[in-house]
Amino acid sequence: MMRAYPTKVRRAGLTLIELILVAVVLGLLATMLVEASTTMGRVTSSGNVQGVLQQEGEKALKRILADMRSAGTATVNGAAYPIVFDGGTAPPPYGANSHPPAGQEAEPGDPDEGVMREIVFVLPADLDSDGRPEIDVDGDGVPELDGDGDGTRTDESGDTDGLWDPTQNTIDAETGLVWAHDEVSYVVITRPDGINYLERRLNGDAATARRIARNIERVQFDTALSSGFEIPLDSVRVRVFFRDRDSAGTLYRHDVEVVLRLRNG
């Protein structure tokens, strides 16, 4: 007769050692997930800050180029344009464009350290708002306009009344092109939020300010003279330097540059 021996049945559940091992493995996994998440967060933050600066740079250049393509070297109302000025102080007779200098963080040796150089220029007049600059074709001192909107440009009263004002415009003696006396400036202003903004102003009036870009470390507009003739005559060089920090305080920089020929260049 065969004798049956009872078999030992393992109790359900984990031993203390197994529990410790599971806890260690889970802890390691959690640590890896946190580190991966933190790393991805830093990469995302870095990419966001740098990407924003690049977008601001592209946007700023497009706006400046669209505005200044019509600018030119001209003497208007007895003053020569364009002119550049440093440190927020525009010389006479351009003093209306002066403003408190913006703050700068860059230190000597930094790639974005340097002078803050801003610009004042004038644009051709479009008195009848047809998208075309005005010209005194026959040289009689009154430009041909289309004030009545019939598609025909003349210098008769029906087309010029209420539009032509010789005290607010100058006709170029050689080309007949009409230049408006309004001064356009690009300046950097530190706003109450502590951020530097690049602004476009008309006749230096803060009420006319149109914000072009933010997080500006400095701008540098140069003519041939102010650049030491590094650029051609009748040209302007535009440099815009950006800087910003992410939530961890890491510094990011970006800069853009373009040289444009003026209308009569």
pLDDT for 263 equals 79
Which residues, at least 6 apart from 265, have a Cβ–Cβ distance to it below 8 Å?
72, 73, 232, 233, 234, 235
Count Cβ atoms below 10 Å from residue 92 Cβ, excluding itself.
Answer: 7
* Residue environment code for 135-160, b if the CB has 16+ CB neighbours within 10 A, otherwise e: bbeeeeebbbbbbeeeeebbbeeebb
Sign of CA pseudo-dihedral 102, 105, 107, 110: negative
Each residue's pLDDT tens digit, 29-39 = 766 665 655 54
Phi and psi angles of residue 124, each rounded to the nearest 5 degrees, phi first = -60, 145
Global pTM value: 0.80
- Token reading at 108: 């000597």
Each residue's pLDDT tens digit, 203-227 = 999 999 999 999 999 999 999 999 9
* Residue environment code for 231-249, b if the CB has 16+ CB neighbours within 10 A, otherwise e: beeebbbbbbbbbbebeee
Each residue's pLDDT tens digit, 78-131 = 999 999 999 999 999 999 999 999 999 999 999 999 999 999 999 999 999 998
